[in-house]
Amino acid sequence: MFLRNEWYVAGFSREFCERPLQRWVLGEPLALFRTASGRAVILEDRCPHRGAPLSSGEVCGESLTCGYHGFAFGPSGACTHIPGMSTIPPQARVRSYAVIERWGWVFVWMGEADQADESRLPDYHWLNEPGWEGRSEYLPVKANYCYVRDNLLDLTHARYVHRKTLGTSAVTDYPIHTEMHGRGVRVTREMPGIEPSPFFRRMGGFTGPVDHRQQIDFTPPCHVVINTRVTSIVGGSENLSAEFQVLNALTPENERSTHYFWGLMRNFALGDEAVTEMQQKLNRETFFEDLSILEQQQMLLDCKPEGWRPVAIPNDGGCLQAERLMSRLIAAENRS
């Protein structure tokens, strides 16, 4: 079950254009498009006439015209035109979703549009904050979004899954600290005086020992921001310190599939496109390493024996708090 009264990332701004796009979110078909006046709009992608996909049609002015028999629908979801008819039956409408476009990402409120609460918008402001540089990408994952969330909330996996990039044995040598923070859960790990990981060695030019801090913020329903900061504790390195914000929006396509939108922003080597290319490439490869684990995990837990319960250890603190928090929120939403 999903939380409905929350913001999910529906796509990047660049995906909302004159040519409509179909994307399924929480098991519902959405038509994404941009009107002639530049407004990003999301409508239910199922024409009330015959059930055809509106996204097979085209944008005309402020409306989306169905590609089957030409019914047109405005941003409110109301039908604005039916070919050959002068009056429009009032039931000719589709659901319209509340949308906020910000920082180059487009967020959709999956509950009733008139209850959309902008104050609950997750914070991804680094995406266009001066002093931060990087790019956004998309990765489809054939696994439940919670498995992706837990992957990000327990970074000890880097030592095993990402041995060649992010891996450092220090990740399992230092404990995490878990706490409730804002509306969500924060996990922090301080690793003082360790050898820099291959990633930081390559990206930041760190050679000698560093202080490395990881801080992971989970905000319901599916937003994870990882701040990872490395500070040189001896001279001779190219940078004194370097910081990344890894931005992760895990939008459920359905119960067993996730739209993974990620951004990677750094606060050094600004203006250096070659560094941007390299960081994106390394991160992309890193996420591909997670993919097969996550998809197998889905398959193995789909057929787990009755009574199977995961064995928890302290490093799972963030995952467990996130899970409990989500259970409470979903139960509360279903009660109301």
Q: Write out the residues near a second copy by the rule CB under 8 A.
A: 27, 29, 45-46, 48-53, 56-57, 65-70, 82-85, 89, 91-92, 150, 154, 156-157, 159-161, 172-173, 175, 292-293, 296-297, 300-301, 303-304, 308-316
Nearer to a second copy, 271 or 305 (CB): 305
Minimal distance in Å, beta carbon 70 to a second copy? 5
CB of 115 to a second copy, least distance (A): 18
160 vs 288, beta carbon nearer a second copy: 160
Shortest CB 169 distance to a second copy, Å = 8
CB closer to a second copy out of 131 and 193: 193
Q: Which is nearer to a second copy, 50 or 125 (CB)?
A: 50
Rounded least distance, CB 51 to a second copy, Å: 4
When the beta carbons of 69 and 213 are compared against a second copy, the nearer one is 69
Please identify, using beta-carbon distances, which residue of 284 and 304 lies nearer to a second copy.
Answer: 304
- Report in angstroms how near the CB of residue 65 gets to a second copy at its nearest: 7
The whole-angstrom separation of Cα 216 and Cα 153 is 7
Torsion sign over Cα 96, 25, 223, 315:
positive
CB 28, min distance to a second copy, A: 8
